[in-house]
């Protein structure tokens, strides 16, 4: 369906696109998240040691607990360790490939803020901000469109579990101005200020972010949250757990519980037809929190990730060295997800149907639409044409084209990544019409939701 975006969104886009500021291009090495290769010889054994002693003490742990320990353990977790930030450990995600990605999301945020009637307060909340590049690109759009934001009080709130990454984000967004909290139990564990004077605060949990009109962004965040895995057996659903391999005490293996667990009894949908299911209960809780905040305080959430509509089965895997290592549970072999824990990133596809179900009816859900569709609807082609028209340098042109291709090509990130949004119901409400004899004022039609509606530059 083709429809026309409001003039206001088009004006936002042209305000950003007409900027003559030089375009910085980030290294476009590969798609997805690139991590240092799990070098067996050098890997620190501490995580494996920690896990084996835990397993000896408690018995098998759920895959969710394994993933939580491996990724976010406060001492040895993958996201918490410093060495993932070195030259070999960079994130290479869409915001890192090209600044256009963050700019278009910046336009989306402003468009939703305008669609909500330009509230006096705008909290930009990002979950899992990585290096801070996406927030930085969004804030540049805010400063280019300062005349639109006018007197609105803008603040930035980052939910980040990794102190090491928070330092990197602080450097990107606030230079040397940020300060860590004195006490360890402070809800805001770091504070700073951007060059334009916007306050930036860091939290460990979404729950700690103050209430108020907020636009939430989560790019490649939900896929990093722990999943439970369940296997259909002749006796019913059973949970997949992680245990020590009895034949090799320094190796881990998957086992299936002999009887149902609380999780297998509660998380698997009654009419589930698949034989193997992954459930990200933590993601469900976060989506419920987002939905509640949007209902109570207004705002919207934009979630971008790879995922499916409740159709896939075994997607748990390692992201490593630019190579998409498929691992999986089936076959009951020793799998890469269990080898060298803590030395590489673990991930699982996001089940958007589960997120929609857990969001409940209080909010409207849009999408998922593919990244290609979303970026094209947001005007990435127009932006590219303008950049190429003004660019004479052959190598910059080549890089522009290759970054565009990486983000939008269906074979690359274009169809693998999806955008999904939670909105306040009033955002999509149809205008009131005059009824009977009484002349009621007809409110203007709501702005179409950018990105989820095809954009037309008229």
Contacting residues toward ligand SAM, per CB under 6 A:
33, 71-72, 79, 91, 93, 95-96, 128-130, 159-162, 165, 219-221, 224-225
Q: How far is the CB of 20 from ligand SAM (least distance, A)?
A: 27
Give the nearer residue to ligand SAM in terms of CB position, either 23 or 224: 224
H helices of 118-261, where?
133-144, 146-149, 163-174
Q: How far is the CB of 410 from ligand SAM (least distance, A)?
A: 20
How far apart, in Å, are the Cα atoms of 296 and each of 1, 175, 242, 424? 32, 34, 40, 9
Helix (H, G, I), strand (E, B), or coil: what is residue 308?
strand
Give the nearer residue to ligand SAM in terms of CB position, either 162 or 320: 162
Q: How far is the CB of 185 from ligand SAM (least distance, A)?
A: 17
Give the nearer residue to ligand SAM in terms of CB position, either 160 or 349: 160
**Structure-block tokens of residue 177:** 């101005």
Residue number of the CB closest to ligand SAM reads 128
Q: How far is the CB of 219 from ligand SAM (least distance, A)?
A: 4
CB of 122 closer than 8 Å to CB of 213: yes
Residues in a beta bridge with 306: 417
Give the nearer residue to ligand SAM in terms of CB position, either 165 or 173: 165
**Structure-block tokens of residue 153:** 């009080």
Give the nearer residue to ligand SAM in terms of CB position, either 346 or 366: 346
- N- to C-terminal Cα separation, the chain: 16
Question: Buried (b) or exposed (e) across 174-184, using 16+ Cβ within 10 A?
Answer: beeebeeeeee
Q: How far is the CB of 30 from ligand SAM (least distance, A)?
A: 13
**Structure-block tokens of residue 46:** 């501490």
Q: How far is the CB of 358 from ligand SAM (least distance, A)?
A: 16
Phi and psi of 124, rounded to 5°?
A: -95, 115
**Other residues' Cβ atoms within 10 Å of the Cβ of residue 49:** 12
Residue 411 to residue 193: CA distance in whole angstroms: 40
- Cα dihedral value 19, 23, 29, 35, nearest 10: -80
**Structure-block tokens of residue 135:** 């927030």
Q: How far is the CB of 138 from ligand SAM (least distance, A)?
A: 12
Give the nearer residue to ligand SAM in terms of CB position, either 60 or 129: 129
Q: How far is the CB of 84 from ligand SAM (least distance, A)?
A: 9
Task: Give the pairing type, strands 61-62 and 236-245.
Answer: antiparallel
């Amino acid at each position: 369906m083709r429809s026309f975006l409001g003039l206001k969104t088009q004006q936002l886009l042209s305000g950003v696109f007409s900027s003559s500021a030089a375009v910085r291009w980030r290294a476009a090495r590969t798609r997805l998240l690139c991590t240092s290769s799990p070098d067996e010889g050098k890997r620190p054994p501490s995580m494996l040691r920690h896990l084996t002693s835990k397993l000896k003490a408690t018995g098998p742990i759920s895959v969710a607990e394994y993933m939580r320990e491996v990724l976010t353990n406060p001492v040895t977790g993958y996201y918490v360790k410093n060495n993932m930030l070195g030259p070999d450990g960079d994130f290479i995600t869409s915001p890192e490939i090209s600044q256009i990605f963050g700019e278009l999301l910046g336009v989306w945020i402003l468009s939703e803020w305008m669609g909500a009637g330009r509230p006096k307060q705008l909290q930009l909340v990002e979950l899992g901000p990585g290096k801070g590049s996406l927030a930085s690109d969004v804030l540049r759009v805010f400063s280019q469109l300062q005349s639109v934001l006018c007197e609105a009080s803008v603040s930035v709130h980052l939910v980040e579990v990794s102190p090491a990454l928070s330092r990197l984000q602080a450097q990107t967004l606030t230079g040397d101005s940020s300060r860590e909290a004195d006490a360890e139990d402070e809800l805001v564990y770091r504070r700073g200020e951007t060059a334009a004077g916007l306050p930036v605060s860091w939290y460990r949990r979404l729950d700690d972010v103050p209430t108020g009109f907020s636009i939430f962004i989560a790019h490649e965040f939900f896929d990093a949250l722990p999943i439970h895995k369940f296997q259909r057996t002749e006796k019913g659903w059973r949970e997949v757990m992680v245990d020590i391999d009895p034949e090799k005490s320094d190796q881990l293996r998957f086992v299936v519980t002999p009887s149902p667990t609380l999780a297998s009894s509660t998380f698997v949908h009654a009419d589930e037809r698949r034989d193997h299911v992954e459930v990200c209960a933590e993601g469900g809780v976060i989506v419920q929190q987002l939905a509640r905040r949007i209902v109570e305080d207004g705002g919207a959430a934009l979630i971008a990730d790879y995922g499916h509509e409740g159709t896939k089965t075994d997607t748990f895997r390692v992201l490593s060295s630019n190579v998409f290592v498929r691992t999986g549970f089936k076959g009951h072999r020793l799998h890469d997800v269990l080898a060298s824990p803590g030395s590489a990133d673990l991930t699982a596809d996001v089940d958007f149907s589960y997120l929609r179900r857990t969001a409940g009816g209080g909010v409207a859900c849009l999408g998922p639409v593919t990244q290609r569709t979303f970026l094209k609807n947001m005007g990435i082609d127009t932006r590219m044409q303008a950049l190429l028209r003004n660019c004479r340098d052959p190598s910059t042109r080549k890089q522009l084209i290759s970054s565009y291709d990486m983000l939008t090509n269906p074979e690359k990130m274009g169809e693998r990544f999806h955008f999904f949004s939670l909105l306040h119901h009033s955002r999509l409400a149809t205008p009131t019409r005059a009824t009977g004899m009484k002349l009621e004022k007809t409110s203007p039609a709501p702005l179409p939701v950018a990105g989820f509606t095809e954009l037309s530059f008229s």
